[in-house]
Amino acid sequence: MSILLHKEKEHDYSNGNLRVLSIVRFMSAMGFAFISTIWAIYVDSFFHNISYVGFLSGILTLVAFISYFLFIPLIEKEDKAMLYKIALMGAILGYVLLFFIENLYLFIFIAAIIAILGTLRVTSFGIMLKDNSKKGSVSKNVGLMYVFANIAWFLGPVIAGLIVSGIGIRSIFLFASGFLIFSLIIFDRSKIIDVNKKKSIDKNPLKNFIGFFKSKDRTIAYIISGGVDFWLTIVYLFMPLLIIRSGLEVTWVGYFLGASVIPLITLEFMFSKMAAKVGFKRIFQIGFFIIGTITILGFFIQDIYALMGIIILANVGVAMVEPTTESYFFNILKKKEALQFYGPYNTTSTVGKFLSKIIPSAFLLIFPFKSLFLIFGGVTLGIFFLCFKIRDVIEEDIKS
């Protein structure tokens, strides 16, 4: 009887933490959705050049990539809940400062600090989510987090676009800070604690990163996950600039970004559960095929409204892949490997974002904007073929 009671308490505790993490994810995602809506447009106000916007964004992503190595010992040894709170507080302070600062170099410096803290936030949250998930339910819980986050990414851009039209672009920094403050308060009051620490830390982060790629399965999972972030750059960085340059108001950027999340809100949780039943391999293949073929189609479309429409449609493929890549990664790991390899794995996001900003920006120095659709579509179709080489993991078969 005592064993049954212990299991029931553990189950309730886990579900309570997941509810809190879902709310925290929603509130923080609202703040970051506000920033993403105006980011490319705001940076472009300094440069007035799409390539330079891409290059600066790529440099900031590279800074974030380097910070993942520096934070591996922290993630292994320190309280993930405390690290998450520190990262949120840093973002809040950074956005408040950006509201007042107009100097380009100070802007870049603060943006770099926020990017560095972002790696700490993402990694600590992911570990907390895994630690509060029962075995065999990781993909379902990750999918649930994406539902909450995507609702925020639907509402955030629409609201941000209306705010910018009403009171100006710089006010977004304060509104974003407000949502992060609420997120921090809710998380702090939850009293979530860290139960997953290593007594000895990896003193050579670079060696740990190189060790990550000694496994073919981990390497392929890394590339597949990075492919999602690679493609999303066309949505959040390049499309807003194209919309503005096509003569439309900034509110259309908000409408586009909000609408692009609708397939994710309606389909991601379903696909995350489906992956647990039918296997990740089939889901990945179909998802990347949809993304790649539709994006290439964009090269042949001239009308800006039709172009926005097909990019939104391509997000059906993203809905299949985005909530399942991390779940697949956790399922191919051995029990003791999460703390060691989750930090290096998270660099896939920054690598994907870095390449998707630097390479297309270089192309734009020579080729027209439309060439971007061939680049992004070609890369995602390449990943579609790579998906044939992954392990066909069916999560429901490994439940205890």
For the chain, the structural domain boundaries read 2-398
Its pTM stands at 0.81
Structural contact between residues 354 and 66, judged by C-beta atoms closer than 8 angstroms: no
Burial of residue 247 (number of CB atoms within 10 Å: 0-12, 13-18, 19+): exposed
- Give the alpha-carbon dihedral of 380, 26, 35, 271, to 10 degrees: 10
* Residue bearing the bigger pLDDT, 136 or 286: 286
Structural contact between residues 250 and 44, judged by C-beta atoms closer than 8 angstroms: no
pLDDT tens profile 259-288: 999 998 888 878 877 877 778 888 999 999
Q: Highest-confidence range of 28-32, 346-350, 393-397, by mean pLDDT?
A: 28-32
- What is the DSSP secondary structure assignment for residue 215, as one 8-state letter? S
Q: What is the pLDDT of residue 1?
A: 31
Write down the H helix ranges in 246-332: 250-260, 262-278, 280-297, 304-332
Structural contact between residues 139 and 323, judged by C-beta atoms closer than 8 angstroms: yes
pLDDT, mean of residues 208-224: 86
Instruction: Name the least confident of 55-59, 166-170, 278-282.
Output: 278-282
Q: What is the pLDDT of residue 400?
A: 45
Q: Is the dihedral of CA 203, 204, 205, 208 positive or negative?
A: negative
pLDDT of 142 above 80 = no
Q: What is the pLDDT of residue 337?
A: 67
Under the banding of pLDDT at 50, 70 and 90, the label for residue 215 is confident
Q: Which residue has the tokens 């472009």?
A: 44
pLDDT of 205 above 70 = no
What share of the chain in percent tops pLDDT 90?
54
- What is the DSSP secondary structure assignment for residue 399, as one 8-state letter? -
Distances (CA, A) of 336 to 196, 211, 266: 10, 14, 34
Q: What is the pLDDT of residue 194?
A: 60
Nearest to 180 by CA among 83, 88, 93: 88
* Residue bearing the bigger pLDDT, 328 or 231: 231
Q: What is the pLDDT of residue 129?
A: 79
* Residue bearing the bigger pLDDT, 4 or 44: 44
Q: What backbone phi and psi angles, to 5 degrees, belong to 243?
A: -60, -45
pLDDT of 69 above 80 = no
**Measured at the alpha carbon of residue 350, what is the angle toward residues 61 and 211, in degrees to the nearest 5?**
130
pLDDT of 13 above 70 = no
Q: What is the pLDDT of residue 195?
A: 59
Instruction: Name the least confident of 83-87, 115-119, 150-154, 338-342.
Output: 338-342
CA distance 316 to 265: 10
Q: What is the pLDDT of residue 304?
A: 96
Mean pLDDT for the chain?
A: 85
Q: What is the largest CA-CA distance in the chain?
A: 72
Q: Highest-confidence range of 125-129, 142-146, 197-201, by mean pLDDT?
A: 125-129
Q: Is 79 left (phi over 0), alpha (psi -120 to 50) or beta?
A: beta
Q: What is the pLDDT of residue 8?
A: 33
2-398 is classed in which CATH architecture?
A: Up-down Bundle (1.20)
